[in-house]
């Protein structure tokens, strides 16, 4: 009965193999089994792993190390992805909001009101400063220079002359240094009090500048800074300003290292620009002028 069952089972396996397109290589019959192995289990039992305390500790340490490495790698990749997304976001949307026609009109009206409000009482002061500049040093009263404003447009910026005439004829376009020898004694006082900037109220009225914004940079220096700071162009998304966050919180930029700090402040202002921030900057500017902590 048992042999019949085995034969039937063998035939079933053969039929199944043929259906699966398996080829029968050979058959194992009773005569193929050696007498010495008859009745014995010739297939060795599977060696089962019996964990020891040392192997458990080793595997646990390895698992923890692998998990820590995986977490560190995942965190590093996530950080890189966040930085990449932030750079793309800042490149695509450098400003905190997009100005529409109404907001641009409101800002223009505010600039005209502020510039007129400050210009009228400043006219007697400007007259006195002009006479002093002419009397104390040879050269022009006003210093006129090309600067960059919104969208990289070049305009003529006006200031009272604080340096000797043709100060950059030999040196070319360079950063003004602290205690610059080219600055006249009157010019040093005008810079500390920011009185040399008063003629720029005319630039604000002309629409070349806004009352508050990033300070206008020279085209020659801007070209050099663009190669080192890729975010420099973001300053040109808005109009140049008579004063700004970088001027009241960034100090005097006499080198590119200090300029990096002011560039970060300009970007911060462009991103978070608001009426309340403009009013705060305006108040800080008045304090800076009264304290005489301007350029040296």
DSSP state of 210: E
261-292 pLDDT, tens digit per residue, is: 888 999 999 989 888 999 999 999 988 888 87
Label each residue of 128-197 as H, E or C.
HHHHHHHHHCCCCCEEEEEEECHHHCEEEEEEECCECCCCCCCCCCCCCCCCCCCECHHHHHHHHHCHHH
Do the strands 240-243 and 209-212 form a parallel or antiparallel pair, or are they unpaired?
A: parallel
| Spatial distance between the Cα atoms of 61 and 79, rounded to a whole number of angstroms | 27
pLDDT band of 93, cuts 50, 70, 90: very low
pLDDT of 289: 84
Residue 258 confidence (pLDDT) above 60: yes
Cα–Cα nearest to 150, from 107, 186, 198, 121: 107
161 φ, ψ to 5°? -70, 125
pTM of the predicted model, to two decimals?
0.64
Q: Any idea what the Cα angle at residue 221 is, between residues 193 and 176, rounded to 5°? A: 35
| Spatial distance between the Cα atoms of 235 and 257, rounded to a whole number of angstroms | 17
Ranked by mean pLDDT, which of 198-202, 234-238, 253-257 comes out on top?
A: 198-202
pLDDT of 90: 46
13-53 pLDDT, tens digit per residue, is: 666 666 666 666 666 666 666 666 555 555 555 555 455 55
Cα–Cα nearest to 262, from 213, 192, 224: 213
Which of 26-35, 112-121, 161-170, 236-245 shows the lowest per-residue confidence on average (mean pLDDT)? 26-35
| Sign of the Cα pseudo-torsion (56, 59, 60, 61, in order) | positive
67-89 pLDDT, tens digit per residue, is: 555 566 666 666 666 555 545 44
pLDDT of 196: 94
| Spatial distance between the Cα atoms of 283 and 293, rounded to a whole number of angstroms | 14
Residue 96 confidence (pLDDT) above 60: no
pLDDT band of 135, cuts 50, 70, 90: very high
Helix (H, G, I), strand (E, B) or coil at 243: strand
pLDDT of 159: 95
Rg of the Cα atoms in the chain: 40
Residue 180 confidence (pLDDT) above 50: yes
pLDDT of 261: 86
**What does the mean pLDDT of the chain come to?**
77
Cα–Cα nearest to 159, from 116, 122, 196, 123: 196
pLDDT of 149: 93
Tokens found for residue 294: 């301007």
Provide the terminal-to-terminal Cα distance of the chain, rounded to the nearest Å. Answer: 114
**Residue spans of beta strands (DSSP E) within the chain:** 142-148, 154-160, 209-212, 240-243
- Whether the CB-CB separation of 145 and 218 falls below 8 Å is answered with yes
């Amino acid at each position: 009965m048992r042999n019949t069952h085995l034969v039937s089972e063998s035939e079933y396996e053969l039929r199944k193999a043929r259906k699966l397109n398996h080829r029968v290589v050979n058959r194992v019959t009773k005569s193929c089994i050696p007498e010495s192995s008859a009745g014995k289990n010739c297939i060795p039992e599977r060696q089962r792993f019996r964990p020891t305390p040392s192997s458990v500790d080793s595997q646990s340490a390895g698992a923890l190390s692998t998990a820590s490495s995986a977490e560190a790698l995942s965190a590093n990749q996530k950080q890189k992805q966040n930085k990449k997304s932030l750079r793309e976001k800042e490149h695509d949307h450098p400003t905190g909001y997009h100005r529409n026609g109404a907001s641009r009109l409101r800002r223009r009206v505010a600039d005209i009101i502020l510039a007129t409000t400050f210009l009228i009482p400043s006219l007697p002061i400007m007259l006195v400063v002009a006479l002093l500049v002419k009397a104390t040093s040879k050269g022009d009263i006003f210093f006129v220079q090309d600067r960059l404003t919104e969208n990289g447009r070049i305009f003529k910026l006006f200031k009272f002359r604080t340096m000797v005439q043709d100060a950059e004829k030999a040196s070319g376009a360079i950063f003004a240094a602290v205690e610059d020898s080219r600055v006249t004694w009157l010019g040093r006082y005008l810079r500390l009090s920011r009185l040399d900037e008063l003629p720029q109220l005319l630039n604000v009225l002309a629409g070349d500048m806004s009352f508050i914004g990033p300070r206008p940079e020279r085209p020659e220096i801007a070209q050099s800074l663009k190669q080192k700071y890729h975010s420099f162009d973001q300053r040109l998304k808005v109009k140049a300003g008579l004063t700004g966050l970088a001027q009241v919180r960034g100090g005097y930029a006499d080198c590119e290292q200090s300029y990096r700090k002011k560039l970060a402040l300009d970007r911060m202002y462009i991103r978070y620009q608001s009426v309340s921030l403009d009013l705060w900057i305006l108040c800080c500017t008045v304090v800076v002028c009264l304290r005489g902590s301007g350029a040296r």
